[in-house]
Amino acid sequence: RTEKMLRAALFALVISSATAFVTIPGEAAVRPVGRDSTVQCMSGGGKSGKSALCILAEGFEEMEAVTPIDLLRRAGVEVTIASLTTDIIVKGRNGISVFANMDLDSALKLRESYDAVIVPGGPPAVPSVGTLKSDARVLSLLNEQMNAGRVVSAICAAPSVLAEAGVLAGKKYTAHFSVADAVPDFDKTSAVVVDGNLVTSQGAGTGTQFGLALIEQLVDKQTAEEVAASICWK
């Protein structure tokens, strides 16, 4: 009964708020909700005219997803959060659950293409787990994105998924040291590596640099610097 009451209260808060971040005890689920328009409510941002798709699978590394999503939305990029499965609530590796905007199939139907695709790390990206690298939709999307010259990005263990998709060939990139066997040529010293339309980063601690690099790629350097200043990033 208590859970039902909490969920009813949550629903009422979502409906009544212009913009709300809401949590369920034990779930810490987060979803921004606005009343301006359906598209804005579903995916956030949009003022820059650029779009990004962030793919979440259960066990994703929360900081590596939420940080770039947040920064990109601050820069006016319309970010769609897509769950790999039909379960819209996706639980991260540290027990923080995020409300995706929609499942991946729906996100792929929503737009013909996205200006950027973001793949966070965490267990789903680890080669021995293989959740992401075994999903044909993800591999196909990454290939299409790279071949079209649109931004492909990954952080932490996720560059190993890019390797599986075959999009790292001839590119400079970085990754988390834990996936060195899958990406042996990774840059071990750089927090973020940008090579053409490829953006990669080392891990949770470099999430802010990753997000700012994406803003620079999708919008411009000035906007990246303005967002960095607004969050007191030094």
Q: How many CB atoms lie within 10 A of CB 229?
A: 10
- Mention every residue, 6+ apart, whose C-beta is less than 8 A from residue 130: none
User: CA angle 183-153-182, nearest 5°?
Assistant: 10
Element (H, E) at 208: helix 207-218
**3-state SS class at 79:** strand
Phi, psi of 88 (to 5 degrees): -75, -30
Q: Is 54 a catalytic residue?
A: no
3-state secondary structure of 203: coil
Pick the catalytic residue: 41, 54, 156, 232?
A: 156
Rounded to 10 deg, the angle between the 62-74 and 207-218 helix axes is: 40
Return the structure tokens found at 154: 């990954």
Note the helical H segments in 17-158: 38-43, 62-74, 104-110, 136-147
- Catalytic positions, written as ranges: 156
